[in-house]
Amino acid sequence: MSKYQRIYRVVRLIPRGQVSTYGDIARFANLPRHARLVGYALHALPKSSNVPWQRVINSQGRISLGRLYPDGEQRQREALEAEGVTFEASGRVNLKQYRWQPDPFLLDAFFNPPPALENQSTDVP
């Protein structure tokens, strides 16, 4: 699985109404210190993608799409607000309230599934 695929798999796990940061996604995808790579991966998504890119924000709780998309910040904000995420007057999302905290055991199982049952012994001890 490519690095981008790992990133997309994690982003798809973020529940509606919650957000995650670029750094968190990198860490959850076993790509520590690759927050920028998360941004590149999300930027590479086709418009028809079902990856919920809008749920990824920066570590200060702000939208950071750069200068590539003049209306991108507004689109992301509207998408998050439609999911129930609120913004403070400063334009930040309260990460203490909306930050996704996945179960590390579930993430591990997601990326490292157990061997297929057909490869395991069926003998009962």
> What domains appear along the chain, each with residue ranges and CATH number?
3-110 (1.10.10.10)
Q: One digit per residue, pLDDT tens: the chain, 125 residues?
A: 899 999 999 999 999 999 999 999 999 999 999 999 999 999 999 989 999 999 999 999 999 876 556 778 899 999 999 999 999 999 999 999 999 999 888 888 777 777 765 555 544 44
Q: What's the whole-model pTM score?
A: 0.85
DSSP string, 5-42: HHHHHHHHHSPTT-BEEHHHHHHHTT-TT-HHHHHHHH
Could you tell me if 5 and 41 are in contact, meaning their C-beta atoms sit under 8 angstroms apart?
Answer: no
